[in-house]
Amino acid sequence: MPGGERVIDFSDGPAHLSMRYEQLVIRAEDGEGQAAEVTVPLTEIAALILTTPRLTATQSALAGVMRHGGSVIVCDDSRQPAGMMLPLNANTSQTQRMLAQIRAPVPTAKRLWKQIVQEKIRAQAATLLAAGRGDGGLPALAPRVRSGDPSNVEAQAAQRYWPLLFNDANFRRRRESPDQNRLLNYGYAVLRAAVGRAICASGLHPSIGVHHCGRSNPWCLADDLMEPYRPLMDSAVVELVGLYGPDCALDRRSKSALVSVLTDRLESKGEARSVFEWISRTSASLAQVFLGASDRLLFPDGLHHAPDAS
């Protein structure tokens, strides 16, 4: 990443950022509502993600972050990146990564999409198992995904997955339906924003996808990378539906439950990190694939290991 490796996401406020002796000074409230101050060396910062509207920052703090190679990402009310401030003098990492992304050969993009679809199907199977629905035969579908998924195994898996997930043979994923689809819509919007922020923090451009494409879609790459993480939101919606029924209101309670998915911790190879941290690592691994330093994306094992499954 440009600068260091730390991505600091200011999702809650209020907070004030300033600079002192080449340190970013963060003044915010602690858990008891008291003002607290934390400092972070500017050399450690890869990106600041300014999500909360209750944040102020001095010019010297923002300039200092970028002078040391970090970027600053400003999000809108929907928590999606509205714009970026990039370092011009610190290094060429940002340019190098975007050029590599643009020049990625078609076989590489197809190979990446194959891995994404396989991870998604395995995660869906784990979600079904955790919900006590069996695996729907999905694990047998994952190996059938070929480069680029020309047979659309992803859709075949979805046809099995959705009716089983909600124990309703008539359930379909329809964005306009006034049922649990409303909860899914909101959860996916939260997830998409988180993935978009991680992509920008990794020095990549979110509109240049490996599979999704569209002139009117500025988040094609986010739509690609979020696919294996969708079942985490699905699981949260299943829990809400179990408690309050398919007509569960999209209110503060349900929104809070869906947003909290990003702070849930997943284990993988002895590491326990939040979902947002894993998303950031997935995005960083994609940059390494584009640069030729790796041939696979990194996804946590926790995505496709059901809690009660062997």
**For residue 168, pLDDT beyond 80:** yes
pLDDT in tens, 185-209: 888 988 898 888 788 888 899 899 9
pLDDT value of position 89? 61
Mean per-residue pLDDT for 3-31?
83
Domain coordinates in residue numbering, the chain: 6-91, 101-303
pLDDT in tens, 87-108: 766 545 778 899 999 999 999 9
Check if 6-91 and 101-303 are the same fold: no
**For residue 215, pLDDT beyond 80:** no
pLDDT value of position 252? 81
Q: Provide the CATH number for the domain formed by 101-303 in this structure.
A: 1.20.120.920
Band of pLDDT at residue 32, cut at 50, 70 and 90 = low
Candidate CATH numbers 1.10.1520.10, 3.100.10.20, 3.40.50.720, 3.50.50.60; the one for domain 6-91: 3.100.10.20
Band of pLDDT at residue 307, cut at 50, 70 and 90 = low
pLDDT value of position 5? 64
**For residue 2, pLDDT beyond 70:** no
Q: Which residue has the higher pLDDT, 246 or 112?
A: 112
Which of the residue ranges 145-159, 180-194, 285-299 would you say has the lowest mean pLDDT?
180-194
Q: Which residue has the higher pLDDT, 143 or 196?
A: 143
Q: Which residue has the higher pLDDT, 302 or 86?
A: 302
Cβ-contact 188, 226 below 8 angstroms: yes
Q: Which residue has the higher pLDDT, 303 or 178?
A: 303
**For residue 140, pLDDT beyond 70:** yes
